[in-house]
Amino acid sequence: MAVPATVTMLLIVAAVLPIVVIRTAEARAFFVFGDSLVDSGNNNYLATTARADSPPYGVDYPTRRPTGRFSNGLNIPDLISERIGQSEPPLPYLSPELTGRRLLNGANFASAGIGVLNDTERAMRGTNGGCSAELQRAAALFNPQLDEVLSELNREIGRDVFVGVNTAQMHNDFVTNPGAFGFATSKVACCGQGPYNGLGLCTPASNLCPNRNLYAFWDAFHPSEKANRIIVEQMFSGTAEYMKPMNLTTILQLDART
Q: What is the DSSP string of 95-109?
A: -TT--GGGGGGEEE-
Contact with ligand NAG (CB under 6 A) among 49, 63, 118, 258:
118
- Give least dist CB 114 to ligand NAG, A: 13
The pair phi, psi for residue 229, each rounded to 5°, is -65, -40
Contact with ligand NAG (CB under 6 A) among 200, 250, 252, 255:
250
Binding window for ligand NAG (CB under 6 A); candidates: 28-36, 141-149, 190-198, 246-254: 246-254
Q: Of the listed 36, 81, 111, 206, which one is catalytic?
A: 36
Tell me whether residue 36 is one of the annotated catalytic residues: yes
Half-sphere exposure of 246 (CA within 13 A, CB side): 15
By beta carbon distance, the residue nearest ligand NAG is: 237
- Give least dist CB 113 to ligand NAG, A: 10
Q: Of the listed 132, 206, 219, 224, which one is catalytic?
A: 219
**SS percent in the chain: helix, strand, coil, step 5:** 40, 10, 50
Question: Which of 55, 58, 17 is closest to 34 using CA atoms?
Answer: 17
Which is closer to ligand NAG, CB of 10 or CB of 209? 10
Which is closer to ligand NAG, CB of 93 or CB of 196? 196
- Give least dist CB 233 to ligand NAG, A: 9
Contact with ligand NAG (CB under 6 A) among 109, 249, 252, 255:
249
Binding window for ligand NAG (CB under 6 A); candidates: 31-39, 129-137, 152-160, 244-252: 244-252
Number of residues that bind ligand NAG (CB under 6 A): 8
Q: How far apart are CA 7 and CA 23, in angstroms?
A: 28
Contact between 213 and ligand NAG by CB under 6 A: the answer reads: no
Q: How far apart are CA 11 and CA 73, in angstroms?
A: 18
Q: 3-state SS of 22-56?
A: CECCCCECEEECCCCCCCCCHHHHCCCCCCCCCCC
Q: Where are the beta strands (DSSP E) in the chain?
A: 30-32, 106-108, 164-165, 191-192, 207-208, 243-244
Task: State how far Cα 100 lies from the chain centre.
Answer: 27
Contact between 254 and ligand NAG by CB under 6 A: the answer reads: no
Question: Which of 35, 33, 42, 40 is closest to 14 using CA atoms?
Answer: 33
Contact between 247 and ligand NAG by CB under 6 A: the answer reads: yes
Residues carrying an active site annotation: 36, 219, 222
Interacting residues toward ligand NAG by CB under 6 A: 117-118, 237, 239-240, 247, 249-250
